[in-house]
Amino acid sequence: MTNILLQAEDSGMMQLIMTAPVASFIFAITIATSLWAFYNETLYSNMILHPASVSKGYRVYTVITSGLIHNDWMHLFFNMLSYYFFAFQLEPVLGHWQFGLLYTLSLILSDLPTVYKHRNDDWYHSLGASGAVSAVIFSYIMYNPMGSMYIIPFPFPIYSIVFGALYLVYCNYASKRAQDNVNHDAHMFGALSGLLLTIILHPHTAHDFLMQVSEKVQSWIH
C-alpha cells in the first residue's frame, strides 16, 4: 500500500514538473536559496536589495537576487504557498518562456519604485518574492476573473476580480501609511506588472477578461 502511495506521489510530482517546468524550477531554487541564506549571513547580505546602493549603480543584480531570499520561515511559507496555488495553473496557459519572462520582469519592475523611493535611505533593505508572486496571481486573475478564491480567515469564497481590486486598494493604503516592515509598493507594482505583461504577451486576454465579467454581470441581471 505504501509503495502504491509513493508511486502515486511521484507520478503527480512528475506531471507537475512536466506541465510547469519553469514554475517548478523557480519554486525549487527560491526555496533552496532562501534556506541557504537563513544560515549564511554573507550570502544573505550579498543578495538583499539595498536601494541606496542600486540607485548609485552598485549591486544592481540584487533587484533579482533579493527575490530569491526571504526574511524568515513564515515569509517564505506564505509566498511559496501563494505561488504554488497559482503558478502551476498559470504556466500551461500562459506558456513556458512567457511565464519565465513574466516572473523575472515583474521581479525587477516591482523593485524599481522601491529603489527610487528609498534611494536616499541608507538604512532601508528589501527582500522576498512578493512582487513576482503578486504578478503571477494577477496574471491568473486575467484568465479567470470570475473564479472563486478563499482568503484566510474568511470561510467563504470571493471572485478573483474582487480579490484583485481589494488587494490593490489595500496595498495603496498600506504603502501610504508605511507603519510596518512590509514592502507594499512591491506587492502593488508587481500586481500591475503582472496585468500589463499578460496583456502584452497575450493581447486576447483583455478581450476574454471583459467578456467573462460581462457574461457574469448579465447572468446576475437576468
Cell of residue 108, nine digits: 525587477
Please state, in angstroms and rounded to a whole number, the distance separating the CA atoms of residues 33 and 66: 10
Cell of residue 68, nine digits: 530569491
What CATH topology corresponds to 2-221? Rhomboid-like fold (1.20.1540)
Whether 4 has a pLDDT exceeding 60, the answer reads no
| Percentage of the residues of the chain whose pLDDT score is greater than 90 | 60
Q: Give pTM, 2 decimals.
A: 0.88
Q: For the chain, what are the domain ranges?
A: 2-221
Query: Tell me: the pLDDT tens digits for 38-50?
Result: 999 999 999 999 9
pLDDT attached to residue 217: 85
Query: Tell me: the pLDDT tens digits for 180-197?
Result: 455 778 888 999 999 999
Cell of residue 133, nine digits: 508572486
Please state, in angstroms and rounded to a whole number, the distance separating the CA atoms of residues 39 and 9: 30
3-state secondary structure string across 68-127: HCCCCHHHHHHHHHHHHHHHHHHHHHHCHHHHHHHHHHHHHHHHHHHHHHCCCCCCCCEC
* Strand 157-159 versus strand 148-150 pairing type: antiparallel
